[in-house]
Amino acid sequence: MGLNFTDIKITLDISGLVACIIAFTALIITIKSFIADHDRRKKQSTIEYYNKILTETCGPLRDAIRKALKEPLNNYSYRTIMPYDKIWKKKHDLQKKCFKYCRYMERFAVGIKLRIYDYKTFFNIAGVTTAKLFQQIQYLINENRHTDYREFIFCTEYKKLCRKLLKQLFS
């Protein structure tokens, strides 16, 4: 008994359907791989950019604050610094480091808001220290944004990011 036209048509239809299923499955796998790679790159860029902030601004700022407060090397207290404190008014180097740190963190916070950088990754690697450092310098940010527009940026997104960190840490 030979194959008739109807049998051949059914076989071709089934073959076409199987090919479509295989192509659709390959498309889904490709999309999932693309999304996973994008997420990995986003997390990697978050770590890389924060590492740049840490080495270029955060570390030097924390060292300058520790030295100005005359704290021992292994004991960083995160004492709040007020705009009228002598260490702030006399230490122009400390001010420059604080301004630079805030500029970098504002850019980073905007990147997190725009989802260029990954918030969860940032929270895991530096959430606590960023929130504590913000609490330490927040009054300086508020005071200097009203008095010296040339040096200080408004830090709007940085402040929002730190409030989100603090809320997450203490709730």
CB 104 within 8 A of CB 45: no
pLDDT of residue 158: 93
pLDDT of residue 149: 52
Which pTM was predicted?
0.79
Instruction: Tell me the pLDDT tens digit for each residue of 58-103.
Output: 999 988 888 888 877 677 777 888 888 887 777 778 888 998 999 9
- Mean pLDDT, consecutive 10-residue stretches, the chain (171 aa), reads 70 85 93 92 95 94 86 75 80 85 94 96 94 90 64 78 92 79
CB 63 within 8 A of CB 70: no
Of 39, 58, 38, 37, nearest in space to 49 by CA? 58
What the block records as the tokens of 117 is: 């950088």
Rounded Cα distance, 135 and 78, in Å: 8
* Residue 39 identity (one-letter amino acid): D
